[in-house]
Chain A
Amino acid sequence: MGWALALHGGAGDVPRTLPAESREPRLATLRRCLDIGMAALRAGRSALDVAELVVRELEDCPHFNAGRGSVLTADGTVEMEACVMEGASLRCGAVSGLSTVANAVSLARLVMEKTPHIYLAFDGAEAFAREQGVETKDPSHFITDHNVERLRQAKEANRVQIDYTQPMKGQQAPREAAPADDNSQTGTVGCVAVDAAGNLATATSTGGLVNKMAGRIGDTPVVGAGTYANALCAVSATGKGEEIIRHTVARDVAALMEHRSLPLRDAAARVVAGAPRGTVGLVAVSRRGEVCMAHNTTAMFRACATEAGHVEVGIWTDADADADADGESVSVAL
């Protein structure tokens, strides 16, 4: 029992040669966000508040692919999406196609709390944001030089980075061609939390994938795919969106706990193992305060903490973990 939280900044095949100037700011942000989440849980904030708060911080960090720092569509624009869900009530909210809202995750929460709907997208979502008076920015606020360059490289390679459905006739699966510069394969952010009262919540936010078609919706805002919480657990997933959708990844972790009575760690490991290698990562917490960070990619930017004192921050699967954990690709603390 006790509170716990876990967060991620995306999963993918991040080269171990990732330069320090790309690695360190991300690790520092993960640590800072973990501290913010821990402090909020210690102060008695609800799991939902904590998940939203942490994801807002991650959105504001330009090094991750959400909010400021979102990757660009084929048109060079930003289309952000996000989702929140509360476990006990199954209440949820989601948004897609945002181009001016500073913190997509908070708009998703407002959809949940202030509309009869769950999911608003594009112009309707932007109009709702204005109605609610949330902070908006000029679209240029979200666009970093780095992402302009990424889009240029992706277009040069004439392909979509990060994810894609299965190879089509006459089209090569473009897995190999990622620019070697940094973690271009990753970036979606998410946070799951269970508070001391046992309430569960999850939140996920993303800019999507580099060079995506305008209008593309990924797994993040799809309840059950990138984001899900119920009375047993809360899950936030990241990776190749199309794989996560078809495997209903977040929901399946919960379904295995519910219908098969698997413990969190086993449920998460089974779901991750069931998806093609290199496509899925997730963070999850259970009602009992267990935490799990599982991925079948070579890396996932991640961090977790429990009330019992387990703290972990890491990127790759082995001995790189930053703290007192063994850095397994699936790790659990009770």
Chain B
Amino acid sequence: MAPWAIAIHGGAGVDPNLPEHRQEEAKRVLARCLQVGVDLLRAGTPALDVVEAVVRELETDPFFNSGRGSALTRRGTVEMEASIMDGRGRRCGAVSGVSTVKNPVSLARRVMDKSPHSYLAFDGAEEFAREQGLETVDNSYFITEDNVGMLKLAKEAGRILFDYRIPLTGTDTCSALAGADHHNNGHNGMVMNGLPISIYAPETVGCAVVDSTGACAAATSTGGLMNKMTGRIGDSPLIGSGTYACGACAVSCTGEGEAIIRSTLARDVAAVMEYKGLPLQQAVDFCVRERLDEGFAGLIAVSSDGEVAYGFNCTGMFRGCATEDGFMEVGIWE
């Protein structure tokens, strides 16, 4: 028997001026969802089932921006995506462009378990959800008042941020600008995913678990990016980028999706452990430091030995973790 461990996140890149009561609410939701996972692990539930159950909780709570409360596309619609991976056998499932499925993470699980494929998107994914009899709701269920307002602000900000739509090379980027402001605590210049931090809301939830048999699993779910182009796919459904699990560890990432994709961040944590022989936290630190070039992101991870680790290079990450020996933590800032 190995010690179990669990880590969860509700997105990285938090407005430093987030009101105290919102911070408290975030922590309450994180603690509640974490407890769901802890109870399941204590009851001997396999890691794969735990990550699915916990991500479903996070998706269903409108506080975090996935499932209900998802970010809106430029057209004001919701296009959700999710993935799940079982470290045993490295089985995986992913979905993108889901617009009516209440819990995208469970659809990703069905793709893994019940289809010959590992990734379905848009109409084909919706059709499969109906075939599988998953709970669906009207697209309006996912759209919250808050996010309609956010989209409006994002569109206004998009006009102000002159270089948001221009592809970025080297250090001449929004993110670099944000980095420059990072240290003087100036929230005005801080930018996440092309949006001022005061408007930006972290968009992703995830969970990584090792159960008492030493099996690792990870799952990630997101509404994507506020004001994204329709059809945009981010890192969350991409195996190796937003989500990865193998025999050694499980990882879920969040933040600027494009930076996470370029660095195949989740796989790289595992690859650094596997090929460089670093322990979990060192692998996480290495990848956050060396891999994210100009991008901002964070990640949570567990190892098959029952360690938990997290890392981020931006202002805050909603997160929580617990281990079998009684350690439990919920936090936002460094």
A, B assembled together: yes
State the A residues within 8 Å of B (CB). 89-92, 94, 96-97, 112-125, 127-128, 160, 163-166, 168, 212-218, 222-225, 228, 241-242, 245-248, 251-252, 255-256, 259-260
* In the A-B complex, the 7 residue pairs with the closest CB atoms: A124-B231, A215-B124, A259-B275, A214-B124, A224-B264, A124-B230, A119-B233
Given the known interface contacts A223-B261, A246-B90, A259-B271, the answer about A123 and B229 at a Cβ–Cβ threshold of 8 Å is no
A228 to B167 alpha-carbon distance, docked (Å): 19
Which residues of A have CB within 8 Å of B120? 213, 215-217
Which residues of A have CB within 8 Å of B275? 255-256, 259-260
Q: Indicate if the CB atoms of B90 and A121 lie closer than 8 Å.
A: no
A89 to B173 alpha-carbon distance, docked (Å): 13
Q: Is B232 an interface residue (CB 8 A)?
A: yes
Which residues of A have CB within 8 Å of B230? 123-124, 127
Which residues of B have CB within 8 Å of A91? 167, 169, 262
Which residues of B have CB within 8 Å of A252? 267, 271
Which residues of B have CB within 8 Å of A255? 267-268, 271, 275
Pick from A116, A246, A256 the residue with the most CB of B within 10 Å: A116
Q: Is B119 an interface residue (CB 8 A)?
A: yes
CB distance from B40 to the nearest CB of A (A): 24
CB distance from A143 to the nearest CB of B (A): 18
Q: Indicate if the CB atoms of B262 and A92 lie closer than 8 Å.
A: yes
Q: Is B179 an interface residue (CB 8 A)?
A: no
Which residues of B have CB within 8 Å of A124? 229-232
Which residues of A have CB within 8 Å of B271? 251-252, 255, 259
Q: Indicate if the CB atoms of A122 and B232 lie closer than 8 Å.
A: no
Task: Give the interface segment out of B109-117, B205-213, B319-327.
Answer: B109-117
A241 to B239 alpha-carbon distance, docked (Å): 12
Binary per-residue interface labels of chain B (65-77) against chain A in the complex, 1 for a CB within 8 Å, 0 otherwise: 0000000000000
Q: Indicate if the CB atoms of B90 and A90 lie closer than 8 Å.
A: no
Residue of B nearest to A259 (CB): B275
Q: Indicate if the CB atoms of B165 and A216 lie closer than 8 Å.
A: no
Q: Is B263 an interface residue (CB 8 A)?
A: yes
CB distance from A119 to the nearest CB of B (A): 4
Q: Indicate if the CB atoms of A224 and B241 lie closer than 8 Å.
A: yes
Q: Is B202 an interface residue (CB 8 A)?
A: no
Q: Is B251 an interface residue (CB 8 A)?
A: no
A215 to B122 alpha-carbon distance, docked (Å): 6
14 A-B contact pairs sorted by A residue (CB < 8 Å) = A115-B165, A116-B258, A119-B232, A119-B238, A213-B117, A216-B117, A216-B119, A217-B117, A222-B240, A223-B240, A246-B91, A251-B267, A259-B276, A260-B275
Which residues of A have CB within 8 Å of B268? 251, 255
Q: Indicate if the CB atoms of B167 and A97 lie closer than 8 Å.
A: no
A112 to B169 alpha-carbon distance, docked (Å): 11
Q: Indicate if the CB atoms of A245 and B118 lie closer than 8 Å.
A: yes
Partner of A242, one of B117, B128, B272: B117
Q: Is B306 an interface residue (CB 8 A)?
A: no
A115 to B263 alpha-carbon distance, docked (Å): 18
Q: Is B181 an interface residue (CB 8 A)?
A: no
Interface residues of B in 70-103 (CB under 8 A from A): 85, 89-92, 94, 96-97
Which residues of B have CB within 8 Å of A115? 165, 167, 229
Partner of A120, one of B231, B262, B267: B231
Q: Is B125 an interface residue (CB 8 A)?
A: yes
Q: Indicate if the CB atoms of B261 and A92 lie closer than 8 Å.
A: yes
Q: Indicate if the CB atoms of A214 and B127 lie closer than 8 Å.
A: yes
Partner of B122, one of A121, A128, A218: A121
Q: Indicate if the CB atoms of B92 and A213 lie closer than 8 Å.
A: no
Q: Indicate if the CB atoms of A96 and B116 lie closer than 8 Å.
A: no
A225 to B261 alpha-carbon distance, docked (Å): 11
Further 9 A-B residue pairs, CB within 8 A, beyond A123-B122, A165-B112, A165-B118: A116-B165, A120-B232, A163-B116, A164-B116, A213-B120, A214-B124, A241-B118, A246-B239, A259-B275
Which residues of A have CB within 8 Å of B276? 259-260
CB distance from A92 to the nearest CB of B (A): 6
CB distance from B212 to the nearest CB of A (A): 24
Pick from B113, B257, B258 the residue with the most CB of A within 10 Å: B258
Interface residues of B in 165-220 (CB under 8 A from A): 165-167, 169-170, 194
Which residues of B have CB within 8 Å of A90? 262-263, 293
Pick from B115, B238, B293 the residue with the most CB of A within 10 Å: B238
CB distance from B260 to the nearest CB of A (A): 10
Q: Indicate if the CB atoms of B89 and A248 lie closer than 8 Å.
A: no
A102 to B258 alpha-carbon distance, docked (Å): 26
A213 to B233 alpha-carbon distance, docked (Å): 19
Binary per-residue interface labels of chain B (245-279) against chain A in the complex, 1 for a CB within 8 Å, 0 otherwise: 00000000000011001111001100110011000
Q: Is B309 an interface residue (CB 8 A)?
A: no
CB distance from B228 to the nearest CB of A (A): 7
Q: Is B234 an interface residue (CB 8 A)?
A: yes
A180 to B41 alpha-carbon distance, docked (Å): 50
A122 to B275 alpha-carbon distance, docked (Å): 37
Q: Is B141 an interface residue (CB 8 A)?
A: no
Q: Indicate if the CB atoms of B165 and A125 lie closer than 8 Å.
A: no
A216 to B125 alpha-carbon distance, docked (Å): 8
A216 to B115 alpha-carbon distance, docked (Å): 10
Q: Is B153 an interface residue (CB 8 A)?
A: no
Q: Is B63 an interface residue (CB 8 A)?
A: no
Given the known interface contacts A166-B91, A247-B90, the answer about A119 and B118 at a Cβ–Cβ threshold of 8 Å is no
Which residues of B have CB within 8 Å of A223? 238, 240-241, 261-262, 264
